[in-house]
């Protein structure tokens, strides 16, 4: 404990005093926070290769530490601080002010003495929840570390100079730099972890990173909790006949009050994340928009419609063919069926019958960027197959998807509806956030509403789905596009129109033939990472890297269209996987 001993004058007057409430203590606290930030960042760098090196580049999880990379550390810091939102600096200054106030000796009631510990415990646990919401065991690590720290602290006598005045129900607390050190430790840990996960989101799903960080948060929380509990214990053991509110017989009331306060803070915090946890939409991404402007749509087939099980009319375009198979093309995020026109024409020219649907919530179907419930797209796809089967009773159905549509094809291939399809072809699949193949922000294509996502995920774990229709991600769409594009996706759309988080690990569950094609110059994805990941689970799955083709080139560039046509005409020997 870093408490100053009371001077003779303080003992005589009853006023607690701090021996050295100097600026040096403030500097010491900030330095301690910076050291904590540096240790976490360096540890992540050495163990995971996770520290960012430059904008838009995320090193592999297994990337080794290279000392030469530290040469750009000052520039890296400038970049990180330049992208720090202004409100975070305001929070930092507010926390510093709170910590500095703790340096001075003071007299406070029990309620006021609880304010800082409760706030810091809340800030600490929010760091665990926001950083590692996919790993519930992280909360367990936080709780165990907090309990251990609190118990160890309670085993010691109250700090020298701490007194309880039963007549007034107030505590005399000597000044200390320890709260400032702890507050800065929590802040800089949260800041550093946030920056690290922004540039290496896969670490949020690795226990070897999440558990130590969560335990560190727990230690900070435990020290605050132990300090607050020691004050209550001091009051509870007071022999004064006129004990104040914190006396033992009122302990239940205090606990109830604390629980209510925590609940109110939690509700307000969730409400704040839902209302204010958004972001500005990204600027138009020319590499996605421009290829669509160069396509000749003069021969675009008209939209036709079928009725889904809920009575909603859904659209599709039909490209007739004479071959034995039917191909269903799934467009990418924000798009609609016309985006697959060039590919559909190519496949139709080689004899395939092609159906290109506008998925619900896209094009002219339903509410833009939203669906009625998680999994509704799966039901719609089955309903479309129900329309196709009677028209082509002897045909096999091949499911092909591009970008988010490619990830969605993996969802179907690994799910209960896979039996409806003969084969799966995946084009540049945009795997879920946190995967090793996705560039930061998908190369500028998406901006997630992180705060809102955290709140809605938490509420869904509690079975509360009231807010699943709210937008949680924005796209860098062309604001002047000639076709309707989705500017945002709701939570339930995003949870459905993607692959499972463990899609790569579950590849062995796919019984039908699967092919993966990616453009070598993909600006949204790390094209070279697909083959090693997929071959590790399924050595038999062909992964084709199409030279010189970027993300949208996979559905517009002749080189990619030719490669896809070859994959569609996969020899019959691949039609069974054992």
Rounded CA gap, 246 and 235, in Å? 6
223 & 365 share domain: no
Rounded CA gap, 434 and 198, in Å? 10
**Furthest-apart CA atoms within the chain: distance in Å:** 102
251 & 298 share domain: no
52 assigned to some structural domain: yes
> Exposed, middle or buried: residue 242 (CB in 10 Å: 0-12, 13-18, 19+)?
exposed
440 & 476 share domain: yes
Element (H, E) at 290: helix 286-293
Lowest mean pLDDT among 4-18, 314-328, 479-493, 562-576: 4-18
- Residue-level pLDDT at 308: 95
Rounded CA gap, 515 and 508, in Å? 13
| Mean pLDDT score of the chain | 80
528 assigned to some structural domain: yes
CATH number at residue 516: 3.40.50.1820
Element (H, E) at 215: helix 207-236
Nearest alpha carbon to residue 568 among 550, 544, 548: 544
237 & 97 share domain: yes
2 assigned to some structural domain: no
Rg over alpha carbons for the chain, rounded to the nearest Å, is: 29
pLDDT score of 530 more than 60: yes
Cα atoms found within 13 Å of the Cα of residue 165, Cβ hemisphere only: 14
- Counted domains in the chain: 2
Compute how many other C-beta atoms are within 10 angstroms of the C-beta atom of residue 364: 15
Q: Which residue has the tokens 């946890």?
A: 277
Lowest mean pLDDT among 5-14, 227-236, 295-304, 447-456: 5-14
The rounded Cα 254 to chain-centroid distance in angstroms is: 36
- Residue-level pLDDT at 358: 96
- Residue-level pLDDT at 56: 35
271 & 315 share domain: no
Best-predicted range by mean pLDDT among 166-170, 229-233, 439-443? 439-443
Higher pLDDT, 225 or 290: 290
108 & 74 share domain: yes
Contact predicate 146/222, CB 8 Å: yes
What 3-state class would DSSP assign to 538?
coil
**249, 276, 303: which is the final residue of a domain?**
276
Determine the structural domain holding residue 442 and report its residue range.
Answer: 286-571
Residue 137 token pair: 């065991």
Higher pLDDT, 390 or 273: 390
105 assigned to some structural domain: yes
Rounded CA gap, 340 and 357, in Å? 10
- Residue-level pLDDT at 9: 47
Lowest mean pLDDT among 162-166, 406-410, 446-450: 162-166
38-86 residue pLDDT tens: 444 444 444 444 333 333 333 333 333 333 333 444 555 556 666 677 7
39 & 162 share domain: yes
**217, 247, 276: which is the final residue of a domain?**
276
Contact predicate 83/5, CB 8 Å: no
pLDDT score of 23 more than 70: no
451 assigned to some structural domain: yes
Residue 261 token pair: 């306060």
Angle, helices 137-154 vs 207-236, to 10°: value is: 40
User: What pLDDT band is residue 269 in, cutting at 50, 70 and 90?
Assistant: confident
194 & 341 share domain: no
Residue 394: which residues within 8 A CB-CB, separation 6 or more?
324
User: Could you tell me whether strands 313-319 and 304-307 are parallel, antiparallel, or unpaired per DSSP bridges?
Assistant: antiparallel
Higher pLDDT, 407 or 117: 407
- Residue-level pLDDT at 211: 85
124 & 271 share domain: yes
Compute how many other C-beta atoms are within 10 angstroms of the C-beta atom of residue 310: 13
Nearest alpha carbon to residue 61 among 174, 198, 200: 200
Rounded to 5°, the CA angle 285-291-292 comes to: 95
Nearest alpha carbon to residue 499 among 350, 373, 378: 378
110 & 256 share domain: yes
Number of helices (H) and strands (E), helices first, in the chain?
A: 17, 14
Rounded to 5°, the CA angle 333-346-358 comes to: 30
What 3-state class would DSSP assign to 376?
helix
User: Could you tell me whether strands 325-330 and 353-357 are parallel, antiparallel, or unpaired per DSSP bridges?
Assistant: parallel
Backbone angles phi, psi at 518, to 5 degrees: -140, 140
Higher pLDDT, 168 or 553: 553
104 assigned to some structural domain: yes
Higher pLDDT, 4 or 215: 215
User: What pLDDT band is residue 263 in, cutting at 50, 70 and 90?
Assistant: low
Rounded to 5°, the CA angle 449-554-203 comes to: 40
pLDDT score of 156 more than 50: yes
H-helix segments, 177-206: 178-199
**234, 257, 276: which is the final residue of a domain?**
276
- State the virtual CA torsion across 396, 400, 495, 466 in degrees, nearest 10: -60
352 assigned to some structural domain: yes
Angle, helices 341-349 vs 558-568, to 10°: value is: 50
User: Could you tell me whether strands 106-109 and 170-173 are parallel, antiparallel, or unpaired per DSSP bridges?
Assistant: antiparallel
188 & 168 share domain: yes
Cα atoms found within 13 Å of the Cα of residue 89, Cβ hemisphere only: 7
Rounded CA gap, 501 and 522, in Å? 21
281 assigned to some structural domain: no
Higher pLDDT, 230 or 484: 484
> Exposed, middle or buried: residue 437 (CB in 10 Å: 0-12, 13-18, 19+)?
buried
**How large is the average pLDDT for residues 245-249?**
48
258 & 361 share domain: no
User: What pLDDT band is residue 355 in, cutting at 50, 70 and 90?
Assistant: very high
User: What pLDDT band is residue 518 in, cutting at 50, 70 and 90?
Assistant: very high
């Amino acid at each position: 404990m870093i408490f100053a001993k009371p001077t003779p004058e303080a003992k005589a007057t009853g006023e607690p005093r701090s021996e050295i409430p100097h600026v040096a203590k403030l500097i010491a606290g900030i330095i301690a926070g910076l050291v904590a930030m540096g240790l976490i960042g360096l540890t992540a760098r050495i163990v995971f290769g996770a520290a960012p090196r430059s904008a838009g580049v995320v090193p592999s999880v297994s990337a080794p530490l290279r000392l030469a990379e530290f040469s750009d550390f000052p520039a890296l810091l400038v970049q990180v601080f330049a992208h720090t939102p202004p409100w975070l600096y305001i929070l930092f200054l507010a926390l510093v002010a709170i910590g500095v106030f703790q340096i001075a000796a003071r007299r406070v009631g029990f309620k006021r003495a609880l304010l800082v510990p409760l706030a810091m415990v809340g800030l600490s646990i929010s760091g665990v929840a926001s950083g590692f919401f996919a790993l519930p065991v992280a909360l367990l690590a936080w709780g165990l570390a907090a309990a251990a720290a609190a118990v160890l602290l309670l085993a010691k006598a109250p700090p020298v100079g701490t007194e309880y005045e039963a007549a007034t129900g107030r505590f005399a607390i000597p000044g200390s730099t320890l709260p400032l050190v702890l507050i800065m430790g929590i802040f800089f840990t949260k800041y550093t972890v946030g920056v690290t996960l922004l540039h290496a989101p896969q670490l949020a799903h690795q226990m070897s990173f999440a558990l130590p960080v969560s335990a560190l948060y727990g230690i900070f929380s435990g020290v605050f909790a132990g300090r607050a509990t020691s004050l209550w214990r001091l009051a509870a053991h007071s022999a004064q006949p006129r004990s104040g509110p914190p006396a033992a017989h009122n302990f239940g009331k205090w606990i109830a009050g604390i629980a209510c306060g925590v609940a109110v803070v939690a509700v307000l915090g969730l409400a704040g994340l839902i209302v204010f946890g958004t972001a500005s939409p990204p600027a138009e991404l020319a590499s996605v928009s421009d290829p669509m402007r160069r396509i000749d749509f003069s021969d675009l087939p008209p939209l036709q419609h079928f009725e889904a099980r809920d009575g909603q009319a859904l659209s599709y375009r039909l490209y007739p063919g004479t071959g034995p198979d039917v191909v269903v093309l799934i467009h990418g995020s924000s798009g609609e069926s016309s985006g697959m026109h060039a590919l559909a024409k190519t496949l139709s020219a080689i004899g395939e019958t092609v159906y290109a649907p506008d998925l619900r919530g896209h094009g002219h179907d339903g509410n833009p960027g939203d669906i009625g419930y998680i999994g509704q797209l799966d039901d719609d796809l089955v309903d479309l197959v129900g329309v196709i089967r009677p028209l082509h009773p002897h045909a096999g159905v091949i499911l092909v998807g591009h970008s988010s549509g490619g990830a969605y094809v993996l969802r179907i291939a690994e799910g209960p509806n896979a039996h409806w399809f003969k084969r799966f072809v995946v084009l540049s699949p945009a795997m879920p956030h946190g995967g090793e193949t996705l560039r930061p922000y998908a190369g500028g294509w998406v901006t997630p509403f992180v705060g809102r996502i955290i709140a809605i995920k938490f509420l869904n774990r509690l079975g509360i789905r009231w807010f699943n229709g709210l937008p949680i991600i924005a796209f860098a769409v062309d604001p002047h596009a000639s076709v309707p594009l989705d500017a945002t996706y709701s939570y339930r759309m995003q949870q459905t129109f993607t692959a499972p988080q463990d899609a790569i690990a579950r590849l062995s569950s796919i019984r039908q033939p699967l092919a993966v094609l990616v453009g070598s110059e993909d600006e949204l994805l790390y094209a070279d990472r697909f083959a090693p990941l997929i071959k590790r689970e399924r050595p038999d799955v062909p992964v084709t890297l199409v030279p010189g083709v970027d993300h949208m080139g996979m559905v517009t560039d002749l080189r990619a269209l030719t490669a896809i046509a070859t994959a569609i005409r996969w020899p019959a020997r691949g039609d069974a996987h054992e």
